[in-house]
Chains A and B, each alone.
Chain A
């Protein structure tokens, strides 16, 4: 089929070059100049923006982002793997149904979901009120703590992890499992020697799908951290809000470099770069 459909890919090349590469170049240029907003009439070349990179709060925000993203990703891997494996082993006929049930929460606006989660983490909320009416006094007071942010990150991004791992598991050829059992492996050994290694691809791509938005997002730390927890996404957002597009772009470019490194990591595991989902 090669000769017939090759030209179908050409428009996508053009499309990506215009809409993905040009904005990136633009951000790089912005980080080397000083101007106001997007007005280039008074732009001058400067390295001043790089000075702000070492501001202690920015460094801490970077480290925070990394730290929170790593923890959230690890927890997502553990929980996500268990859930994905359970679905994989279950007897559901309709796997689409399972997948859609995982995705269904994401069809409510993310901000509403985070606000709802935040309310639940505060002493007074609708559920404690209802519980109090039937005589149960139960409340949680963790809003504004690192734990709240991590719970928020996990609950928002775990569907990606489950889906990635599930997709990888589903691709495993059942005859491999049979062969493993024929060769005398126990169920546990079969899992660690056959299934787990084959699902690592799913873990890697799932980790990236979880890790990156955790690193660059700003809504979750802002709301669940009650403004007390600063991640790099918040800093970028603040600078864009102050119309300091130069510093904002510079920080965004730095994050992009991290992302590109992540992509290289993926392509090391997956030479064709196809398993990001």
Chain B
């Protein structure tokens, strides 16, 4: 029996130590972010430099960001929502302006032309946009496809959305997946009909979208599962974030055991001109407790080297022109990984040339009210249960 008592004693001591460690409350900068959307090493550097703890909470949708801030349960110091949610948060008086004089790394000309383009287009409907956010990452959606399916690549690159929705156009037995967010499915249907993804969901538009989505049976409505299934070869085509694709790609070219060359990858992505663009940016909520530190954190990520390090683990595009060039400079090194990374960046997040109508691809989504979203959700559910 002595042994049991000793064991219980040890367990209790361990528990008390664990509790003490867990409850040790330090002053901390509270950030609300998407999952795996930041390089932990850069954050650690920041923690050391400023001698502060950074705690990152996670959420997986813009709407959850909004709910979390609105409910007031936690006073977050920094949040990273997409552009339309910045607007909504601003309109509900939840944000405070960014004090640009506190950002020593900030100048107006540090961003890529595409980022400036998105800011400009947002400012047309929401002039305060530029004062309330600093870009963090940006990117597009695209049609990710399986190269192993013969004939698929050609037809997707030639016909884009027409092929995506028309079963007859695609090679026989092509398995197609759709992103399982009703708002994105609605946007895709609108692209097929050459309409704006932000077209108000009137009765008519809803029925157009419904007809389009019902044109084919999607074998999968998924989120992160789509990219994995294309990689495995269980799915042939899907509408996903470009970052989803790059995430898979980086994983394979960076594999410790068997790093692949970019030319060996068996899947690719086609980014049509009509697609969703998005930009996630830092915003500071009104009730933030560490406003100065939040600015310091933003400033830290405006440093080109830090942004470069940060971009190396995230499959989206850095907003900084200098970091972008640093990535492209990898082409001239001997490092296989850096070469591949530079190639991928250049191919999938290209700089605009004269043939482009605007400096970025795609259209940023605007915010729909609850009622419209409910209508879209019901429509998509109808398509699924049909």
Please give the residue numbers on chain A whose beta carbons come within 8 Å of chain B beta carbons, in ascending order.
Answer: 36-39, 52, 55-58, 60-61, 64, 118, 122-125, 144, 222-223, 226-230, 235, 238-239, 241-244, 247
Assess whether B100 is interfacial by the CB under 8 Å rule. no
Q: Tell me whether B370 and A57 are in contact (CB under 8 A).
A: no
Interface flags for B335-370 (1: CB within 8 Å of A; 0: not) read 000000000000000000000000000000000001
Q: Tell me whether A58 and B373 are in contact (CB under 8 A).
A: no
CA distance A246 to B221 in the complex (A): 25
CA distance A36 to B89 in the complex (A): 13
Q: Name the one of B70, B182, B370 contacting A238, with C-beta atoms under 8 angstroms.
A: B182
The 7 A-B residue pairs with the shortest CB-CB distance in the complex, in nearest-first order: A227-B221, A57-B381, A226-B220, A242-B373, A124-B232, A60-B385, A57-B382
CA distance A228 to B220 in the complex (A): 7
Q: Tell me whether A58 and B221 are in contact (CB under 8 A).
A: no
Assess whether B66 is interfacial by the CB under 8 Å rule. yes
Q: Tell me whether B385 and A61 are in contact (CB under 8 A).
A: yes
Q: Decide: A144 near B234, CB < 8 A? Known: A60-B385, A242-B63.
A: no
For B251, the chain A residues whose CB sits under 8 A away are none
CA distance A56 to B384 in the complex (A): 11
The closest CB in chain A to the CB of B231 belongs to A124
Q: Tell me whether B381 and A38 are in contact (CB under 8 A).
A: no
Q: Decide: A242 near B221, CB < 8 A? Known: A37-B66, A37-B70, A38-B70.
A: no
Assess whether B61 is interfacial by the CB under 8 Å rule. yes
Q: Tell me whether A247 and B384 are in contact (CB under 8 A).
A: no
The closest CB in chain B to the CB of A35 belongs to B370
CA distance A239 to B382 in the complex (A): 15
CA distance A102 to B222 in the complex (A): 31
The closest CB in chain A to the CB of B381 belongs to A57
Q: Tell me whether A242 and B370 are in contact (CB under 8 A).
A: yes
Assess whether B225 is interfacial by the CB under 8 Å rule. yes
Q: Tell me whether B377 and A239 are in contact (CB under 8 A).
A: yes
Q: Tell me whether A55 and B180 are in contact (CB under 8 A).
A: no
For A241, the chain B residues whose CB sits under 8 A away are 61, 63-64
Q: Tell me whether B220 and A230 are in contact (CB under 8 A).
A: no
Q: Tell me whether B234 and A239 are in contact (CB under 8 A).
A: no
Please give the residue numbers on chain B whose beta carbons come within 8 Å of chain A beta carbons, in ascending order.
Answer: 61, 63-64, 66-67, 70-71, 178, 180, 182, 218-222, 225, 229, 232-234, 370, 373-374, 377-378, 381-382, 384-385
CA distance A103 to B178 in the complex (A): 36
Q: Name the one of A39, A56, A60, A223 contacting B70, with C-beta atoms under 8 angstroms.
A: A39
For B180, the chain A residues whose CB sits under 8 A away are 222, 227
For A125, the chain B residues whose CB sits under 8 A away are 232
B204–chain A nearest beta-carbon distance, Å: 18
CA distance A56 to B46 in the complex (A): 53
Q: Tell me whether B221 and A56 are in contact (CB under 8 A).
A: no
Q: Tell me whether B67 and A37 are in contact (CB under 8 A).
A: yes
For B218, the chain A residues whose CB sits under 8 A away are 227-228
Q: Tell me whether A227 and B384 are in contact (CB under 8 A).
A: yes
Q: Decide: A230 near B381, CB < 8 A? Known: A37-B70, A244-B370.
A: yes
For B182, the chain A residues whose CB sits under 8 A away are 238, 242
Q: Decide: A230 near B385, CB < 8 A? Known: A37-B66, A123-B234, A242-B63.
A: yes
Q: Tell me whether A55 and B221 are in contact (CB under 8 A).
A: no
For B382, the chain A residues whose CB sits under 8 A away are 55-57
Q: Tell me whether B374 and A239 are in contact (CB under 8 A).
A: yes
A-B contact pairs, 13 of them (CB 8 A): A37-B67, A37-B70, A38-B67, A56-B382, A57-B378, A58-B381, A122-B232, A124-B234, A227-B220, A227-B222, A230-B385, A235-B381, A242-B63
Q: Tell me whether A243 and B63 are in contact (CB under 8 A).
A: yes
For A38, the chain B residues whose CB sits under 8 A away are 67, 70-71
Q: Decide: A228 near B234, CB < 8 A? Known: A57-B378, A244-B370.
A: no
Q: Decide: A52 near B378, CB < 8 A? Known: A124-B233, A228-B221, A243-B67.
A: yes
Q: Name the one of A56, A226, A239 contacting B225, with C-beta atoms under 8 angstroms.
A: A226
Q: Tell me whether A238 and B377 are in contact (CB under 8 A).
A: yes
Q: Tell me whether B385 and A52 are in contact (CB under 8 A).
A: no
CA distance A58 to B379 in the complex (A): 11
A4–chain B nearest beta-carbon distance, Å: 29
For B219, the chain A residues whose CB sits under 8 A away are 144, 226, 228
The closest CB in chain A to the CB of B370 belongs to A244
The closest CB in chain A to the CB of B229 belongs to A122
For B178, the chain A residues whose CB sits under 8 A away are 227
Q: Tell me whether A226 and B378 are in contact (CB under 8 A).
A: no
Q: Name the one of B71, B220, B222, B384 contacting A57, with C-beta atoms under 8 angstroms.
A: B384
